[in-house]
Amino acid sequence: MSRVVLVLVEAVNDYLPLLEQAGFELIRAPTPASRAEAIAAHGERIDAVLTRGPLGLYAAEIAALPRLKIICVIGAGYEHVDLQAASNRSISVTNGAGANAPTVADHAMALLLALVRSIPQADASVRRGEWLKPMCPTLEGKRLGIVGLGAVGLAIARRAANGFDMSVSYHNRQPRPDVPYTYRASARELAAAVDFLIVAAPGGDATHHLVDHRVLEALGPQGYLINIGRASVVDTAALVAALTEGRIAGAGLDVFDEEPRVPDALKRLSNVVLTPHIAGQSPQAAQDTVQLVVLNLQAFFSGQPLLTPVRLPAPQ
């Protein structure tokens, strides 16, 4: 009997046949309407759910899936998956930690380069026939700070240190003795010590508005912020104010609080570069992400240890 997987994601469609080739039956429901319809029509058959952190899986949905045994999240974040509801039912949860780290790190550096070197503005000036030549900072030898030194943060650090000869500092839940980078005890302390601050932390209560007005003040009027982690890590209102008032030099953002809606206040600013949550997207990343889901599902249903388990709270 094939296992039934409810697929809520929309970004890896070309690689979903990897799941079917592994013997899984897929029910695809990438929109809110189809999601509700699929749960209502097939809830009693569904063994697993494939989702993303922003899409999540909520307690009421988990309750409507009596056969559900495992939730697989693509990407590292799982902020809208109800871990308590999963734990109460002894449902396993996995994530895609590390699967798309190289692609996200590439995009973080691309945003930083585009922002600091004014690439969008220069491109626009050429197209308008203006031939403007702004004087822009260089990246070599600058000080980079990374909030969240997981797989993505480490990939960014390697690119910055080895490719641009930057000094790298980081703030994490705890110091990492296995890295050559400088640990800072708080996000504010980190911001005060760097020229560029890249947010690579997951969402959730523990990181909500970790980068607030105090951190932005510490980053200062010559500092730049990049966020390829989760929008909730940065206080958007404080960021808009800091950008508008020149209290930081600029920001590159791939994530937003209410995607796909982006605040008009951000769109109007000339010192920001905006991309539509594409940092983790590439053919290789999508394939590696789905392949990791396949391996986790195969391990789970054969009684083997999960490759990337998410730690769950104690049942209540």
**Is 259 an annotated catalytic residue?**
yes
* Number of C-beta neighbours around residue 314 at 10 A: 7
From the list 20, 37, 259, 268, the catalytic residue is: 259
Distance CA 73, CA 81 (A): 9
Cβ contacts of 127 within 8 Å, gap of 6 or more: none
CB 202, CB 76: distance < 8 Å: yes
Q: DSSP states of 101-137 as a string?
A: HHHHHHHHHHHHHHHHTTHHHHHHHHHTT--------
Q: Is 128 assigned a catalytic role?
A: no
CA dihedral of residues 190, 191, 196, 200 (deg, nearest 10):
60
Taken in order 176, 177, 183, 185, is the CA torsion positive or negative? positive
Encoded tokens for 134: 């702004």
**Catalytic residue (one of 3, 52, 107, 230):** 230
Catalytic residues: 230, 259, 277
